[in-house]
Amino acid sequence: MPRRQLYAKVVIEVAKNGFFNRLIYGKEGPDITADEPEKRAFFRFWEIAWNKRFKLNGLSLIYFLCNLLSTAVTAAAYMLAVSFYYTLSKGISVKDAIAASADPRAAQVMYYMGLAFVTILFNVIPVFSAGPFRAGMTFVTQSFVKREPVFVWHDYITKTRSNLKLGIQAMIINGIAGVIDLVTVAFYLACTAKDSNMAGVMPNWLLFISAAIAIFITVMLLAMNLYIYPMIVTFKLTLKQLYKNAAIFALIKWLPNLGIILLTAAMVLLPLLVINGYFAFIISLLLYAVIGLAFTAFLHSFYVYPILKKYMIDNPKADRSGGNNSAAGAAGDAIDAADSAADAYAAADNAADNADGADKIDNTENAEVPDVLR
């Protein structure tokens, strides 16, 4: 055999069975019988996460590269808010405030820990995100939750393209809201800080109301972003319907949403508290890139999809009067249709569903179920 053909054969075998194939496609999991009772949610979550661990690693790395600009914007928004705080409260820059502190090194470490925490939290809960790419990752993790067959790279790119317009719109709106929220929190902290130039500007009762509003807006913003991208990849929605539904879900599931937000925040904060010094900043960013983005997206999909299924997919009272009829939406539908026709597994699944003759609401992606209630 010629040397060139031998090299080509070796490369093909490595591509089929090597590390990167496992990273992107994972390996076959155990067979699931039809009569096997469904496990409790906790055990089902960890079973899926373990079986898809290599796919989650690959997905996280892919999205991390696509999301670098959003990560930088989040860091810049944090720096802007901190600078705004010191300008209002002390009339000095952040650098001068750190130098004037009792322990400048400790103050600088705290600054970078705050930078890492806010940057990671506001990206794993996608207040700041590369919108279309976030939609692609959400589709993949939601398919994991539904135990539907999915090709990570192919479906990630396909859903990124088909949700381009709405993903960009959500990215811009959420980003602006995120910057305003961070600056608002900085303004409140400047008004309540000891020895602040803003002390006494607002009466205590107004400060209390301002604190309640700031907390409510922050939690509301984070909670809405748990639902925005899952709805983008599941239903045909206008921008108005998208945010209307997200606001409704943020309110009617207020306590569970708050629990998921606190759990996510604790996961982000843990390495920053356990590891000391600048090393904590580096380790947190590595975990964020290698597994954090996809794992938290999977966690949020595992939490959100049953809610969408209950209130929108399986709800006979749901309003089905709307839909995205724009040219971009039509182009996205055409892409989805072509890709579905090309995939053998999708054709097989559709044939099986048709054979069952179920009279349930269509629960495939991009089903036209725009609003939660009439």
| Residue reference for tokens 């796919």 | 55
What secondary structure letter does DSSP report for 38?
P
Predicted pLDDT of residue 74: 96
Query: Tokens for 41?
Result: 């949610």
- 106 phi/psi in degrees, rounded to 5: -65, -40
Chain position carrying tokens 């994991």: 144
CB atoms within 10 A of CB 73: 21
Mean pLDDT score of the chain: 81
Q: What is the pLDDT of residues 201-221, one digit of tens each?
A: 778 888 888 889 989 999 999
The ranges assigned to domains in the chain are 41-353
Q: What is the rounded CA–CA span in Å between residue 371 and residue 240?
A: 10
pLDDT at residue 323, as a whole number: 42
The structure tokens listed for 140 are 């993949």
Instruction: Check: CB of residue 128 under 8 Å from CB of residue 122.
Output: yes
Fill in the DSSP letter of residue 319: B
Grouping H, G, I as helix, E, B as strand and the rest as coil, residue 367 is strand
* Residue 318 pLDDT grade (very low, low, confident, very high; cuts 50, 70, 90): low
Residue type, 291: I
Question: Are 218 and 127 contacting, i.e. CB atoms less than 8 angstroms apart?
Answer: no
Banded pLDDT at 373 (limits 50, 70, 90): very low
> What percent of the chain has pLDDT above 70?
75
As a whole number of angstroms, the distance between CA 112 and CA 105 comes to: 11
The strand pairing partners of 235, in sequence order, are 367
Report the DSSP beta bridge partners of residue 371: 319
Q: 156 versus 193: which is more confidently predicted?
A: 156
Does the pLDDT value for residue 4 go beyond 70?
no
Strand partners, 312: none
Distance in angstroms (rounded) separating the CA atoms of residues 320 and 372: 9
- Report the candidate in 106, 73, 103, 118 with the shortest Cα–Cα distance to residue 278: 106
How far apart (Å, rounded) are the C-alpha atoms in residues 197 and 195? Answer: 7
Q: Please report, to the nearest 10 degrees, the dihedral formed by the alpha carbons of residues 338, 343, 349, 350 taken in order.
A: 20
Q: d(Cα 241, Cα 243) in Å, to the nearest integer?
A: 6
Residue 320: Cβ-neighbour burial (10 angstroms; 0-12, 13-18, 19+):
middle
| Listed range (85-99, 141-155, 325-339) with the worst mean pLDDT | 325-339
Q: In this model, does residue 64 exceed pLDDT 90? A: yes
Phi–psi pair at 29, nearest 5 degrees: -90, 180
pLDDT of residue 279: 81
Spatial neighbors of 40 by CB under 8 A, at least 6 apart, are none
pTM: 0.76
The DSSP call for residue 197 is T
pLDDT digits (tens, 9 = 90+) for 244-293: 999 999 999 999 999 999 999 999 999 888 887 778 888 888 899 999 99
What is the C-alpha R_g of the chain?
Answer: 23
